[in-house]
Structure 1
């Protein structure tokens, strides 16, 4: 595990510093346009945030259109008293969840219909005294009541708002969740505020596709890296370990890296063993791509690509290799490459279990974890 962490730092720190050396793209934007929450460096800090004096607030009501296929992540956050009292709206299993921290009370309530169906939903959040109401498509989905004798009734100071993350420590959550949200928001009206929102310093605004389908989208830039020791492991030696990928793409599909070993599968399969190397060609990228890992053999789409008694792939998998989807970790991450994957991985299975890119050891911000442009639909909004 320590080796993998060192490798990731060495391979990815260089491109990251290059990115920091560029003129940053963050700044101030309006909260009313189309906002893609998916592409970001930080997982917890909001993609964008704003603040205002509470004396300026005349309507405790916000509404916006929201679309996602992601089952879990942070949508909307607000707090007062510099985070002593806070609120966050998120999804869990596709279902809305509200968590509130106020004085001595923590509340977590989940309910309503699933919203991660890829359709646009009109969302409304409003305060009704001691109650917070969530509506979706003009239907009340969730009502949360909260009262504390320790809370101050008259609020003064500032209110802070955030999209796609939180401004307080995640340890304050009553019910932890994965914050990354592959979603789009448009037409936002946030309280009655007309102030601009501050964005992450490295954030580059990205459009949203007009129609989407389930899958992980690689635009020709960026990779996702897993530690194999964190993935499902060996059940029987006879069956080995199976990786299945479904979708449509070109470029590098996956690669393995460990000490003295590298395997790359893409337009050309390259096998590196210490100082020796071999190459073999795949005729095309199939709609289904399967790698079966046996003790001393790698089988790709039913064909043995590598057989060696000197390596024990089962031990290497358990100890930890870098399994990378979409490219090779030592390629420059901030530039497009003919070797990087371009297309939609509709489903990734390891030992029959679906793999979520949000669980990756590292994922480039250009990669969308849960949505791809629908077939034959590439218009942007």
Structure 2
């Protein structure tokens, strides 16, 4: 049931302690002051950094390589991102394994040949999958869970020389210019790798970050907001359609959220819209201009439709729990301008000043976010790197 209320509910949620849900990453420092970890450690690939920069990497002499196989476990809900990279000849010959549309994608450059192949099972189901990559010249083979195989054959006109020099391996990034790739993709991967066995090497990997973020032991699909940042889109990417407006749908356990779920504002104008959860009172407050609506019922889905002359709020597809607010130039000045040149923030309250990027950040999991019936990919937003775009702690 929705009721009009006089003020927005207050209160703060104590920071969620996830210590028992996460695997830490132990390590020590090398002589250059860089942290080192075992290649078999559990690594979260979506850590805050330059998105193309490797998270961990090693460089070894090829004379030390005694195996042609590498294997590891991968778990993700993310359909796209870089998993691992390897090269020789200082990047002249290289190999990249990533996901695109949830499928494994291999790209290989060797001598005067360059090839890419995608296929096999979709891997972004949130389950652990074992991947093995082996080089059986002239073939590169990717095996998934012991059976599904992709085989790439390559022959070069160049004379095959005995391999010498150095081999570089990297997780979560690449060491060449991304323009050299045949297939371009978004590199950031919200996923975890564990139990890595890399060419039977036992040397530690060097870490580019000061500390490695842990992986949650159990995850579920969704976008997780730890209370430290938000994701911002331009409202112009959501054009208002004359017949149905802009339809926004949110799924999740709203009783477990605290903070601003999303807000809309144009630069230089007052806040147009805000949806705020209060974990203390178990209320969701919707502010639209001067109007405020408090929703006290427990629900798992909220549908908010912005039309040219009406705002409609529907809980759990129950028409008896529908609230409508008429819109006129007098009641909502600047409404049309905001949709043409404003900002939509998920996970925080947009500030009054243009350089104030947000406050009252959300703590909680949005299991699904849709606009106009399509899933909203937070990787396409300007977002704080603490946000997990595709997974929440279960």
Give TM-score scaled by structure 1 length.
Answer: 0.80
Question: SS of the residue aligned with 1:67?
Answer: strand
Verify: 1:118 aligned to 2:114, yes or no: no
Query: In structure 2, how many angstroms separate the alpha carbons of the residues matched to 1:298 and 1:46?
Result: 45
Rate the CA distance shift 1:271–1:151 in 2: closer, same or farther, 3 A.
farther
Structure-1 separation of matches of 2:248 and 2:148: 42
> Which of residues 52, 55, 61 is equivalent to 2:69?
61
Corresponding position: 1:85 with 2:70:
no
Query: How far has the Cα of 1:285 moved from its partner?
Result: 7.4
Distance 1:306 1:34 in 2: 52
Distance of 2:298 and 2:383 partners within structure 1: 22
| Runs of 4+ with >6 A deviation | none
C-alpha deviations, 1:90-116, integer Å up to 9, x for none?
112221110012232221101211222
> Do residues 248 (structure 1) and 253 (structure 2) align?
yes
Aligned to 1:77, the other structure's residue is in SS state strand
**Which is higher, the Rg of structure 1 or of structure 2?**
2
Instruction: Pick from 360, 368, 371 the counterpart of residue 388 of structure 2.
Output: 368
Rounded to whole Å, the distance in 1 between the matches of 2:62 and 2:328 is 68
Once the two structures are TM-superposed, the CA of residue 278 in structure 1 deviates from its matched residue by 6.7
Q: Deviations over 1:48-88 (max 9, x none)?
A: 21211112111121111111111111111111122111110
Q: Which of 335, 350, 353 is matched with 2:374 structurally? A: 353
- SS of the residue 1:171 aligns to: helix
Match of 2:270 in 1: 261
Partner SS for 1:225: strand
CA contact (8 A) 1:223 1:329 kept: no
1:105 correspondence with 2:125: no
Corresponding residue for residue 193 of structure 2: 185
Of 225, 230, 237, which aligns to 2:237?
Answer: 230
- Map residues 131-280 of structure 1 onto 2, 5 A cutoff: 131-150=139-158, 152-201=160-209, 204-231=211-238, 233-236=239-242, 238-249=243-254, 250=257, 251-259=259-267, 260-262=269-271, 263-267=273-277, 268-270=285-287
Cα deviation code 1:156-192 (max 9, x no counterpart): 2211111112111111111111211111111111112
The separation in 2 between residues aligned to 1:206 and 1:248, in whole angstroms, is 25
Cα deviation 1:11-53 (Å, max 9, x = unaligned): xxxxxxxxxxxxxx97322221111112323221122212111
Q: Distance in 1 between matches of 2:377 and 2:202?
A: 37
Change over 3 Å in CA distance of 1:284–1:33 after alignment to 2: farther
Look up the SS of the partner of 1:266 in the other structure: strand
Instruction: Provide the rounded CA distance (Å) in 1 between the counterparts of 2:209 and 2:309.
Output: 47
Query: 5+ unaligned residues in a row in structure 2: which ranges?
Result: 1-32, 278-284, 315-321, 353-357
Deviation string, structure 1 residues 273-327 (Cα, Å, up to 9, x no partner): xxxx67654446742122221225544444346845163534432x332211111
Q: Is the 8 A contact 1:72 1:179 kept in 2?
A: yes
Aligned-residue offset at 1:152: 4.3
Verify: 1:303 aligned to 2:338, yes or no: no
Report how many residues are paired. 336
**Mapped partners of 1:28, 1:309: distance in 2:** 60
Aligned to 2:7: none
Name the residue aligned to 1:127: 135
Are the aligned partners of 1:266 and 1:285 in contact in 2 as well (CA < 8 Å)?
A: no
After superposition, the CA RMSD in angstroms is: 2.6
Aligned partners of 2:206, 2:379: CA distance in 1, in Å? Answer: 25
